[in-house]
Amino acid sequence: MQKDLDNSKDKREEQHGQVGTMYQNWFLEYASYVIMERAVPYLDDGVKPVQRRVLHSMWELEDGRYNKVANIIGHTMKYHPHGDVSIGDALVQIGQKNLLIDTQGNWGNIYTGDSAAASRYIEARLSKFALEVLYNPKTTIWQSSYDGRNKEPVALPVKFPLLLAMGVEGIAVGLACKILPHNFIELIEASIDSLKGKKVDLVPDFPTGGVADFSKYNDGLRGGRIRVRAVIEKKDKKTLVIKEIPFGTTTSSLIDSILSANDKGKIKVKKVEDNTAANVEVVIHLHPDSSEDIEKAIEALYAFTDCEISISPNSCVILDGKPQFLSVNEILRLTALNTMELLKRELQIRLGELEENWHFSSLEKIFIEKKIYRNIEDCETWEAVMETIHKGLKPYKKLFYRDITDEDVVRLTEIKIKRISKFDAFKADEHIKGLEDEIKAVKYDLDNIKNYTINFYKNLLKKYGKGRERKTQISEFETIVASKVVINNAKLYVNRAEGFVGIGLKKDEFVADCSDIDDVIAFTSDGKVMVTKVADKSYVGKDIIHVAVFKKEQEENTVYNLIYQDGSKGAIMMKRFTIGGVTRDKAYDLTKGLLGSRILYLSVSTPEDGPTVIVKLKPKPKLRNLESIIYFGGQIIKGRGVQGNVVTKFPILKVVEASADQVTQLRKKQPDLFLPPSKEDKSQMKLEI
């Protein structure tokens, strides 16, 4: 019994292992299929399989006339097993890029995001450019389609950096690809430079135009980043017009982002109009009550809306049967070499065809001129005919590129009597001479294949480059600090006793206007300071003695003047300091941190100016001088962590700021008190900080 149970357990474990291995293999096969056959383009021709099948089907249907897109989709389904929707989407995307397909009908609008009309209403045909650079059955490697009934290309023999011209985006299992489109003219010029051994430095060019900062493009590899901005023109003091939009956005999504920013109070907009048709035109009417100037409004649009976006490229292609991450400049170099190799193969094929033509034309001329055909009249068997013709051609075999075969002789016997009777030796010589000249030219091109390829590119540029100038302006622009351009869309309140600050405490003490992206700085009586982000309600510590909107860029010119007691019975200290760098929501000690420490006086000033205060001591026997005068402007400005200087060790009654008259009198009586710190003091300050 136990033996049977053990055997059953072993069998189950074995089956479990087999099933686990099976699932593992299936997943790997699925992941490989998605990466290789759906999401990532091939370097050889720069297209995904569905795009290749669409273009191949269009070539099979090509007769110079437009075809219904529905017909193209149906024809492509012979090659693509994933349904008509994916085929139609791929076809529309290719057509909208205005390079490989001539379109007719409503193919959608890349500016507004409007989709194309139904496939039964729109038409397409291959462009002349596509017919010239995409197809050559003689150099194409073929494979069976998914059902084995048809042949489809493994890769199209593309003689152009199509991948970089069109761009591509795809997501696979654990792998993503995002190659941005580049300019047609610049690609050809860069291909020529690459063949000449010159360094190339490509940057994208977007069909929607805009202005882009490519300083961190990183050759299109992972980790790079492009910032793209809309082109915004000023119509008048309260009206802006967007003429070009960032790549990857539409006027609809752009307007939605503007309205969202307006709802959040980031900008003030009265109305937005979309007048886009053949060209982009989005009119923004600013609110007439808005106090911000038009330049600040433009910066706010860049900071808070899709008028500026970031794009992260990820250049990944299938090369040598596996995905590889290559820079766009390396892709261009390999594409240029591939074009040169394809042109070389075309020339070699053409040379072989010319030589075959010359070979048979010369055989035919000798066969007729030397009247060899008459020698076969007395032959009674086919073998005798073949032998007679071979014998008649034997004296001339040294004139030919190759041996005379039985197939050549059979072709000679198939020449019709009518052709023999009308044979013109002069025309035959002219034809052979033309073939010899063309053979010579082809051999020259093969010997100078690099120059031939360069001339091929130059011819493409001459024929198809007009109207394909760069659309995206290249620029470098600074990062806009959102806090500098955001309008004050909220009000800050404080509950000093309970220790809360926020924009939701509307029943408490008003502090200042602010925005919802600002920070708040708060000082409490126990000598602590904290910086926190504006929120509806935030706790910063009880007994708040000072609260304000914290602007980091303004803190360099903000100085805090402080008098505090060190512990419950400690000395009275003073210091003048700046806040410096802080971490949000962290409480910093401005005192030595002893229990019972408390702030006796705190004020805010500029570095150039400081308050004058009078420190009044509690009366005490034998204590004659009950007042001390402190001019903070004469003190050294240090960091917030410095302990400060001793004011007195006696208990303080109160600290009061001196009036203007008191300051005037003090300046007359004690002029040395108001002198600024010496150079030696400032040097010591740097060391202490």
Looking at the structure, give the CATH architecture of the domain made up of residues 225-311.
2-Layer Sandwich (3.30)
pLDDT at 577 over 50: yes
All CATH 3.90.199.10 domain ranges in the chain, comma separated: 47-157
Does the structural domain 340-464 have CATH classification 1.10.268.10?
yes
Bridge partners (DSSP) of residue 228 are: 212, 309
pLDDT tens-place string over residues 437-466: 999 999 999 999 999 999 999 999 999 999
Task: Write out the DSSP string of 376-411.
Answer: GTT--SHHHHHHHHHHHHGGGGGGSSSPPPHHHHHH
Counting Cβ atoms within 10 Å, is residue 479 exposed (0-12), middle (13-18) or buried (19+)?
exposed
Task: Flag the least confident range among 72-81, 117-126, 252-261, 388-397.
Answer: 388-397
Task: Write out the DSSP string of 603-669.
Answer: EEE-TT---EEEEEEPP-TT----EEEEEGGGSPEEETT---EEEESSPEEEEEEPPHHHHHHHHHH
Q: Is the C-alpha dihedral spanning 189, 191, 196, 197 positive or negative? A: positive
User: pLDDT band at 294, cuts 50/70/90?
Assistant: confident
Other Cβ atoms less than 10 A from the Cβ of 271: the count is 10
* pLDDT for 372: 83
Closest CA to 511 of 539, 544, 478: 544
User: pLDDT band at 11, cuts 50/70/90?
Assistant: low
Task: Flag the least confident range among 138-142, 351-355, 510-514, 626-630.
Answer: 626-630
Any idea which residue has 């194309």 for tokens?
A: 116
From residue 78, alpha-carbon distances to 72, 81, 85, 127, 543 in Å are 11, 8, 14, 23, 79
Our answer to whether residue 121 is catalytic in this structure is yes
What is the helix (H) or strand (E) element at residue 430, kind and residue range?
A: helix 425-447
Closest CA to 121 of 143, 142, 138, 106: 106
What is the helix (H) or strand (E) element at residue 484, kind and residue range?
A: helix 482-485
pLDDT at 689 over 60: no
Mark residue 624 as left, alpha or beta (left: phi above 0; alpha: psi -120 to 50; beta: remaining).
alpha
* pLDDT for 684: 41
Backbone angles phi, psi at 94, to 5 degrees: -65, -45
Q: Is the C-alpha dihedral spanning 454, 458, 463, 467 positive or negative? A: positive
* pLDDT for 354: 92
Pairing of the two strands 211-216 and 175-179? unpaired
Closest CA to 524 of 508, 500, 506, 504: 500
Contact 316, 243 (CB under 8 A): no
* pLDDT for 300: 86
Other Cβ atoms less than 10 A from the Cβ of 367: the count is 24
What average pLDDT score do residues 125-146 get?
Answer: 93
Q: What is the DSSP letter of 677?
A: P
Closest CA to 334 of 521, 527, 164: 164
Q: What is the largest CA-CA distance in the chain?
A: 157
601 compared with 372, residue with greater pLDDT: 601
What is the helix (H) or strand (E) element at residue 361, kind and residue range?
A: helix 328-369
Contact 316, 323 (CB under 8 A): yes
* pLDDT for 313: 92
Contact 58, 90 (CB under 8 A): no
Q: In the chain, what are the helix, strand and coil shares in percent, each to the nearest 5?
A: 40, 25, 35
pLDDT at 203 over 90: yes
Q: Which stretches of 210-293 are DSSP H helices?
A: 251-263
Would the pTM of this model clear 0.95, i.e. be above it?
Answer: no
Q: What are the tokens at 489?
A: 């869309």
User: pLDDT band at 657, cuts 50/70/90?
Assistant: confident
Q: What are the tokens at 384?
A: 């005798």
pLDDT tens-place string over residues 173-191: 777 889 999 999 999 999 9
pLDDT at 67 over 80: yes
Contact 631, 608 (CB under 8 A): no
Backbone angles phi, psi at 578, to 5 degrees: -115, 160
All CATH 3.30.1360.40 domain ranges in the chain, comma separated: 225-311
Pairing of the two strands 211-216 and 473-474? parallel
* pLDDT for 7: 58
Backbone angles phi, psi at 284, to 5 degrees: -110, 120
Contact 600, 573 (CB under 8 A): no
Fold of 47-157: Topoisomerase II; domain 5 (3.90.199)
Which of 23, 30, 33, 121 is an active site residue?
121
For the chain, give the mean pLDDT: 86
Angle between helices 251-263 and 294-304 (to 10 degrees): 110
All CATH 1.10.268.10 domain ranges in the chain, comma separated: 340-464
Backbone angles phi, psi at 537, to 5 degrees: -160, 120
What is the helix (H) or strand (E) element at residue 10, kind and residue range?
A: helix 2-34
Contact 177, 168 (CB under 8 A): yes
User: pLDDT band at 520, cuts 50/70/90?
Assistant: very high
pLDDT at 13 over 80: no
* pLDDT for 476: 84
590 compared with 661, residue with greater pLDDT: 590
Distance, in Å, from the CA atom of 493 to the CA atom of 549, rounded to the nearest integer, reads 11
Share of the chain above pLDDT 90, in %: 47
63 compared with 486, residue with greater pLDDT: 63
Distance, in Å, from the CA atom of 128 to the CA atom of 459, rounded to the nearest integer, reads 13
